[in-house]
Amino acid sequence: MKMYVEGRWRERAQSIEVCNPYDGSIIDTVPRAGLTDVNAALRGAVRGAAAMAKTAGYDRYVMLRTAAQKMDQQQEDLARTISLEAGKTLAEARVEVSRAVQTIELSSEEAKRLGGEVLPLDGAPGAGSRLGLTLRVPCGVVVAITPFNFPLNLVCHKVGPALAAGNSVVLKPASDTPLIALRFVEILLESGIPPLAVACVTGSGGEIGKALCGDPRVRKVSFTGSRDVGGEICRTAGLKKVTMELGSNSPLVIMEDADLEKVAHATVASGYANAGQVCISAQRILVTNAVYEDYLQVLQPRVEEITVGDPLDESNRMGPMIRQRDAERVEQWVGEAVGSGARLLCGHQRNGAVYHPTILADVDPSARVSRDELFGPAVAVSRVSDIHEAVRLANDTNYGLSAAVFTQNIDHALLFAREVRSGNIHVNWGTVWRADLMPYGGLKESGMGKEGPKYAVEEMTELKTIIFH
């Protein structure tokens, strides 16, 4: 496919191969953008931002609503594209497309709701009859950098609110999964979005990311990816607005009064979805001594029955990881934990990029498989004595994106909710759950700012205060 820069679909002499993670076959190629392309994209985006700022909110609503309708009509084709380039099962890909449609629908509604407030200046001494009000205005040019694991919905969570707020947006999708992003840009253009209001630049983040984020024409950067890359972007961006969603090593706490069947179901749903490549994937399972072995006995057969293989085969419940080297990394971390005394209950087989669902028990909380972000289909189970130790271990991390507790004790639930430093807290479900309308983002080194169309629009606009004297 071609990339879309400054109102035109463009090719380049150098290209990037987009491969199927399952069998390594080449699906398509995309241009390898350079600094000239970055400059052209931003040059067009400046003009696009001016055009979008003059576009009525209702008109932006109509454009985005039309895009959502077109996506809905093309759900199966979009899902197949996701499955081919990201390695998701078709079932997972269909869910992502359905959510992406909702995200654009929600964004379209927010285009009609940008407003300010009348300020109660008569409550200020000496204000007299002055009238004050606020206006919410677009930032201008937004750069959106998106990851491979939700290559359509996370694009929609950035591009949809940016356009709804009256900005232009330059999209840099993950190099592994650019095809679905380019398909989405096609749909936006077919839906009436001004040609210069959106650009999609394909290439290595290491080559073009710094130029995009550091350019003074950009007012807002929205990034989802690793903590280390996010830190580098913040240093490069300088005096810009930034939203950073940077991952986690999410804890799932199981108290002695938990329904273990429900917990096991939630562990599978939270720990192995998308081959564990979810930033809020359940990674650290902290279980009280009273139910520790019982939980493992209920969980193990559920994990062992997860079928793994070709994501286009409807009978499989889990596909490959995005790259073989990522599967090799997970294999190495699990091997280190076993070598340090952890008990391997199942899994730990690898075929290329396919890494089988794995359970580790008796894991030292200081082990890398528990301490760092694994981003793969394995869970590390550790013992805790009570809710207080569970909270302490849940907080013993630089991350803070999602955390969960299973308990019927309201005091334990409230203690967990109040004291665990995490942007999302779940009671009686796993760490992987997100309604696309809710505020979503992390604390600590899991990032800053919130996504969810309503909240992202606030991040992608600026407030002006107007005083009539």
Per the domain annotation, does 381 fall within a domain?
yes
Asked whether 202 and 3 are in contact (CB, 8 A), the reply is yes
Give which of 224, 174, 164, 163 is closest to 198, Cα–Cα.
163
The crossing angle, in degrees rounded to 10, of helices 179-190 and 153-164 is 30
pLDDT at 130 (0 to 100): 96
Q: Report how far residue 405's alpha carbon sits from residue 428's, in angstroms, rounded to the nearest whole number.
A: 6
What letter represents residue 417's amino acid?
A
Q: What is the pLDDT at residue 203? A: 93
Q: How many degrees, rounded to 5, is the angle at CA 33 between CA 28 and CA 38?
A: 140
Return d(Cα 418, Cα 434) in angstroms, integer: 20
Domain assignment present for residue 435? The answer is no
Domain with 161 in it: what CATH number?
3.40.605.10
The reply to whether 445 belongs to the active site is: no
Measured from the Cβ of residue 450, the count of other Cβ atoms closer than 10 Å reads 18
159 located within any domain: yes
452 burial (CB, 10 Å; 0-12 / 13-18 / 19+) is buried
User: What length does the chain have?
Assistant: 469
pLDDT at 259: 98
For residue 306, the SS3 value is coil
Q: Is residue 437 part of a domain?
A: no
Classify residue 123 by its DSSP letter. Answer: G
Number of domains in the chain: 2
Task: Tell me: do 124 and 101 sit in the same domain.
Answer: yes
pLDDT of residue 241: 97
User: Is residue 202 within 8 Å of 196, Cβ to Cβ?
Assistant: no
Task: State how beta strands 402-406 and 424-427 pair.
Answer: parallel
Fill in the DSSP letter of residue 388: H
Q: Are residues 178 and 319 in the same domain?
A: no
Range of the domain at 24: 3-246+443-468
Asked if 378 and 359 count as a contact pair (C-beta separation under 8 A), the reply is yes
236 and 258 in one domain?
A: no
Active site residue 245: yes
In a domain, 438, yes or no: no
Nearest to 436 by CA among 165, 150, 94, 102: 102
**Does 370 lie in the same domain as 258?**
yes
Q: Do 458 and 336 lie in a common domain?
A: no
Residues 73 and 131 in one domain: yes
Instruction: Tell me what pLDDT residue 214 has.
Output: 97
pTM reported for the whole predicted model:
0.97
Query: Same domain, yes or no, for 272 and 157?
Result: no
DSSP three-state, residue 354: strand
Q: Are 78 and 180 in contact (CB under 8 A)?
A: yes
**Residue 68 near residue 193 (C-beta atoms within 8 A):** no
Give a yes or no: residue 201 inside a domain. yes
Find, among 296, 297, 267, the residue nearest to 362 by Cα: 296
Question: Does residue 341 fall inside a structural domain?
Answer: yes
The one catalytic residue in 245, 373, 445, 459 is 245
Helix (H) or strand (E) holding 157: helix 153-164
Both 191 and 315 in a single domain?
no
Q: Please give the C-alpha separations between residue 262 and each of 257, 298, 414, in angstroms, as whole numbers.
A: 12, 10, 20
Contacts of 390 (CB under 8 A, 6+ apart): 251, 253, 255, 286, 288, 384, 405, 416
Task: For residue 139, give both structure tokens.
Answer: 């930032």
User: Do 236 and 352 fall within a single domain?
Assistant: no
Does residue 415 share a domain with residue 339? yes
The tokens describing 255, both together, are 């108290």
Claim to verify: residue 294 and residue 177 sit in the same structural domain: no
CATH code, 381: 3.40.309.10
Q: Which of 279, 373, 451, 459 is catalytic?
A: 279
Residue 433 domain flag: no
CA–CA gap between residue 373 and residue 330 (Å, rounded): 10
pLDDT in tens for each of the 469 residues of the chain?
999 999 999 999 999 999 999 999 999 999 999 999 999 999 999 999 999 999 999 999 999 999 999 999 999 999 999 999 999 999 999 999 999 999 999 999 999 999 999 999 999 999 999 999 999 999 999 999 999 999 999 999 999 999 999 999 999 999 999 999 999 999 999 999 999 999 999 999 988 999 999 999 999 999 999 999 999 999 999 999 999 999 999 999 999 999 999 999 999 999 999 999 999 999 999 999 999 999 999 999 999 999 999 999 999 999 999 999 999 999 999 999 999 999 999 999 999 999 999 999 999 999 999 999 999 999 999 999 999 999 999 999 999 999 999 999 999 999 999 999 999 999 999 999 999 999 999 999 999 999 999 999 999 999 999 999 9
Considering the domain architecture, whether residues 304 and 414 belong to the same structural domain is answered as: yes
The two tokens of residue 76 are 């199966």
